[in-house]
Amino acid sequence: MSRWHPQGLVGGVFFLLVGTLFLLDGLGTLRLRPAHLWPLLLIGAGAAILAGAGRSER
C-alpha cells in the first residue's frame, strides 16, 4: 500500500513555489524584497518540519 510522504509533498511544493518566485525575479517580472523573502522561507521551513513531525507510523 503506497502512502504519501508529507515532507516530500510540502518540500516539493515549497521549492516549486519559491523557485517560481526567484525565476520571476530573475526575469524582471517581480522584484523580491529581502524583508518579505526571509520570513517566507522561515514559514516554509517550519511547515516542512511540521509535516515531518506529523507523519504517522503504521
Partner 1 sequence: MTGESGRDPLPPGRLVLGGILILLGAGWLLGTLGYRLRWQVILAAVLMAVGAGLLVGARQPPDRGLVALGIVLTVLLALGITFRPLVALPTPGASMGERTEQPASVSGLAPGFELGVGSLRVDLRELELPAGTTEMAASVGIGELAVRVPEGVTVLVDARVGIGEAVVAARRRGGIGVTVTEEIPGDDRVLALLLEVGIGRTEVRR
Q: Would you tell me which residues interact with partner 1 (CB under 8 A)?
A: 2-5, 7-9, 11-20, 22-23, 25-27, 32-35, 37-38, 41
Closest distance to partner 1 from the beta carbon of 36 (Å): 10
Name which of 37 and 47 has its Cβ closer to partner 1. 37
Closest distance to partner 1 from the beta carbon of 38 (Å): 7
**Spatial separation of the C-alpha atoms in residues 26 and 9, rounded to whole Å:** 25
Residues 47, 49, 52, 53: is their CA dihedral positive or negative? negative
Rounded to 10 deg, the angle between the 6-26 and 34-53 helix axes is 170
